[in-house]
Amino acid sequence: MLLGSASWVAWRDKQHEAASHAFVREPDAITIMRPGHADISLERQDHGWLITAPCSLAVNEQRLSPLFEALNQPGTRYAISEVDTAAAGLDTPLATLMIDDERIDIGALDTTGQRRYLKTEQQVELVPEWIWSLVDGGLSAFARGEIFSDDIVGLTYDDVELDVAQWNALVASQTVQWPLSDALPDTHRRMDAQATLADGQIVSVAITRTASWDAIVLNDEGCARLLPPDSLYGLDS
């Protein structure tokens, strides 16, 4: 009986796959909404994708490619009436994507543990499980690791010119909304520097140092780039 049931499910899935037509989602805007987190907005621009909220950051477009691939080629699709949306985690989704004007809710794993339920206005889709890891990675998942938009040609801290070579090599280990929701440790230190970039921009560099990490916030924007402690060459400990 179990084998018969499994065979029927497999046959049904094949029927749904055969009846499915590949979507072509080539959006110009994406918003990622997760409970308890600030919304993340991405926009396609002439020079590529840009994170526009909660701050302005260049996008690692290699991370967007698998997201689009998963959304455009789901393995199976069902009419919403065929799915127990509560059991599929779609009544209280883990996250919601706005792909241009299309709403996509992300739900629970299916029984295989390898696919995850998505719900659009028209249907329920199954996509690879890892899509949730990418979406839940937040800013760190989509932002490029480089901290500055161009090479630094001058960097001043406390009226002292710093050697910019190692600062130009910095790559963030995480990108987070700033200020943090958690209180900073009492031992944290705040410093301010100013960078001149090769394209002529003058950038204010707010630095917060703790025993666990260093944070850089550019131009008082609402995101920080986190680095291992003592990564910032030329600053006193």
**pLDDT (tens place) for every residue of the chain, 237 residues total:** 333 334 434 434 544 444 444 567 889 999 999 999 999 999 999 989 999 999 999 999 998 988 988 888 877 899 999 999 999 999 999 999 999 999 999 999 999 999 999 999 989 999 999 999 999 999 999 999 999 999 999 999 998 999 899 899 999 999 999 999 889 999 999 999 999 999 999 999 999 999 999 999 999 989 999 999 988 888 864
Same domain for 138 and 35, yes or no, is yes
Could you tell me if residue 91 is inside a domain? yes
Q: Are 11 and 113 in contact (CB under 8 A)?
A: no
Same domain for 24 and 85, yes or no, is yes
Backbone angles phi, psi at 236, to 5 degrees: -70, 155
Domain assignment of residue 191, given as a range: 152-227
Give SS3 for 137. Answer: coil
- What pLDDT does 23 receive? 60
Cα-based angle 50, 53, 57 (whole degrees, multiple of 5): 40
CA distance 37 to 176: 10
Same domain for 131 and 156, yes or no, is no
- Write down the H helix ranges in the chain: 2-19, 61-72, 131-136, 138-142, 165-168
CA distance 132 to 155: 39
Count of structural domains, the chain = 2
Give SS3 for 146. Answer: strand
Last residue of a domain, one of 142, 167, 198: 142
Last residue of a domain, one of 142, 170, 189: 142
- What pLDDT does 47 receive? 87
CA distance 203 to 225: 15
Same domain for 109 and 76, yes or no, is yes
Query: How far is Cα of residue 196 from the mean position of the Cα atoms in its chain?
Result: 28
Same domain for 194 and 93, yes or no, is no
- What pLDDT does 236 receive? 66
Last residue of a domain, one of 142, 175, 198: 142
User: Tokens in use for 223?
Assistant: 């995101």
CA distance 170 to 149: 12
First and final CA of the chain: distance in angstroms?
69
Residue type, 85: T
Residues in the chain: 237
* Rg from Cα positions in the chain: 22
Same domain for 51 and 12, yes or no, is yes
Q: Are 232 and 217 in contact (CB under 8 A)?
A: no
